[in-house]
Amino acid sequence: MIFLHSKRSVYACSIILTIIVVYNFWNYNPKQKYPFHPISTESPIQISTDVVILSTAAPILQPKQKNAKVIVTPSTITESNQTPTVVHLAVVLSLSKQASHIAEFYLLYESWRFLQNFPPLSQQVVVDLIVFCEQPSCHQLPSACIPLSYKKTVDMIATCFHEILDEEIVQKWNDYLYMTSIEFMLTKEYREATVDYDWILRVDQDAILSPGLLIGLTGKHPIKLYPMQFGGIGHGNEFTKNRLRNIAKKLGYNHSGIHDLCSAWLVNPKDAVKIANLTTIIGRHFLKNEFGAHVP
């Protein structure tokens, strides 16, 4: 009985499949096509009766006339010939041979490298690092710092350069070696290397560069840049401030009443040289005439 029951089931399934195949074959229409999606009337393409319709969303329709023409409205996309403005900044400093100063410089160097991690700002502001190093500290710089003589013009790649600090400058300021960090800006090598930058940032070796520098130089900071920026730190008192005003008057300078400035400058290349020149002149006067046992 089980065998007969299974045989009848097979016959029934075969009959059902035959009916399905015959039905589909009978209703099949070889002329049927997929539905066509009409082109929107808001399309910028002008359509006439003898025009081939072009669209990225539908197939090309064949024209009824053989002399059909294609008419397309002009593109509204215009090519800009303007190139993005790139700001070139040189961070400049001198480096003594003291081990502690070299260690501090490496922090500055790493902060300079860190600036390159902020595109597109780091592509809009190209920051070079220029070091005038007192021997033998030049040999202790990162290997990526190449000789300044290799620089011919500003580049789109941030680069570290170094130049040997003239020994005559070190001897000239042996009574106050901090002034070597200003005097190097009066050398021929410095002036020729920095003339084509937009900004000069003069710092000491213990400075740290922040990505906020890129924001300010691209004009994206709410506080706009002045032609000259100087760092500020509280040093001195009323006695010192009054004395500085009197010395300025004695030397024929107009004192603006601005105090507590430090040696970090953000200025243009020409002003950087002028400020360095004036600083060394007045600095030498201070050392000779305004400090010591002979000063009342």
Structure tokens at 72: 């397309």
* 280 neighbors 179 (Cβ within 8 angstroms): yes
Q: What is the pLDDT of residue 16?
A: 56
3-state secondary structure of 149: helix
Cβ neighbourhood burial of 145 (10 Å; 0-12, 13-18, 19+): middle
Comparison of pLDDT for 147 and 10, the residue scoring more: 147
* Stretch 208-226: mean pLDDT: 94
Sign of CA dihedral 134, 138, 140, 145: positive
- What are the E-state strand segments in 121-228? 125-133, 145-147, 160-164, 199-202
Please write the tens of the pLDDT for every residue from 266-294: 999 999 999 999 999 999 999 999 987 77
Rounded distance between C-alpha atoms, residue 190 and residue 169, angstroms: 13
Say which residues have a Cβ less than 8 Å from residue 123's Cβ, sequence separation at least 6: 86, 156
- What CATH code is assigned to 87-290? 3.90.550
CA distance readout (Å), 235 to 143, 240, 261, 262: 37, 9, 8, 9
- State what percent of residues in the chain have pLDDT above 90: 64
* Residue 75 pLDDT grade (very low, low, confident, very high; cuts 50, 70, 90): very low
Please write the tens of the pLDDT for every residue from 218-254: 999 999 999 999 998 888 899 999 999 999 999 999 9
Main-chain dihedrals φ then ψ at residue 15, nearest 5 degrees: -65, -40
β-pair partners for 229: 266
Rounded distance between C-alpha atoms, residue 163 and residue 173, angstroms: 19
pTM score, whole prediction: 0.71
Domain boundaries, the chain: 87-290
